[in-house]
């Protein structure tokens, strides 16, 4: 695993949970689970472990596949396959709020990257998605941008997983009596799971048609989120 200094600095910025794309406004159903007392502080670590093994592996697989598409020499073929890849991922996201949140973050991520450094391929992908009205998911956008930026594939996946988990734990700090030391401890102890999920995604990214995900509690929480009377988060 090798990454040069400039690519490393770019990765640090792209994987920062404070990146201005609006990720702090989304809980992806966590808010509903806490409001309805289906998730407590004592359950968080085991909850996130299972979440990573399901959703984390799914998103990591799509992140890897998107990364590899960047190697295609024909930009038109790349754009077509990338759009299909995102439609495939949309089909896994049964909860409307979470699906829209993922697509919103992905689009804003690409727009932000373009504002930092112009790239013809990213412009074409954004234009095509707008014309065809197709989603641009965060994990696929992260994989594609990282490939273009010269960041190693596995490093990319680990950074994506770390950023995602950090964002979820941060949301829980606003929803539950979860202190900073407790949050840091959970994030620290789950790092071996991040590595495990990254390794598993090496195999599943080769067979996207074999992918499955089972997160009924979180999906239902996301679907019920519009019914929550007082909300801190959009999703």
pLDDT in tens, the chain (235 residues): 556 888 889 899 999 888 899 888 899 999 999 999 999 999 999 999 999 999 999 999 999 999 999 999 999 999 999 999 999 999 999 999 999 999 999 999 999 999 999 999 999 999 999 999 999 999 999 999 999 999 999 999 999 999 999 999 999 999 999 999 999 999 999 999 999 999 999 888 777 777 888 888 888 989 989 888 888 898 8
Residues 6+ apart with CB under 8 A from 130: none
> Which pTM does this prediction carry?
0.94
Alpha helices in the chain (DSSP H): 5-14, 30-35, 44-51, 57-69, 75-92, 96-116, 120-132, 138-148, 153-175, 180-189, 191-204, 216-224
Contact 168, 45 (CB under 8 A): no
CATH class of 5-13+26-227: mainly alpha
């Amino acid at each position: 695993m090798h990454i040069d200094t400039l690519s490393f600095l770019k990765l640090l910025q792209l994987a920062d949970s404070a990146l201005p794309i609006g990720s702090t406004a989304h809980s992806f159903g966590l808010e509903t689970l806490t409001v309805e007392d289906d998730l407590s502080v004592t359950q968080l670590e085991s909850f996130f472990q299972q979440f990573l093994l399901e959703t984390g592996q799914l998103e990591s697989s799509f992140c890897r596949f998107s990364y590899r598409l960047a190697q295609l020499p024909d930009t038109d073929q790349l754009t077509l396959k990338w759009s299909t890849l995102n439609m495939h991922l949309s089909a896994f996201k049964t909860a409307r709020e979470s699906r829209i949140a993922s697509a919103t973050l992905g689009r804003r991520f690409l727009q932000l990257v373009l504002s930092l450094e112009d790239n013809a391929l990213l412009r074409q992908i954004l234009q095509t998605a707008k014309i065809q009205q197709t989603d641009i998911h965060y994990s696929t956008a992260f994989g594609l941008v990282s490939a273009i930026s010269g960041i190693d594939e596995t490093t990319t996946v680990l950074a994506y997983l770390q950023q995602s988990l950090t964002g979820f734990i941060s949301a829980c700090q606003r929803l539950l009596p979860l202190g900073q030391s407790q949050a840091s401890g959970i994030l620290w102890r789950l790092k071996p799971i991040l590595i495990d999920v990254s390794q598993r995604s090496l195999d599943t990214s080769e067979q996207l048609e074999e992918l499955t995900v089972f997160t009924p509690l979180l999906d239902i929480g996301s679907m019920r989120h519009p019914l929550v009377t007082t909300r801190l988060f959009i999703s």
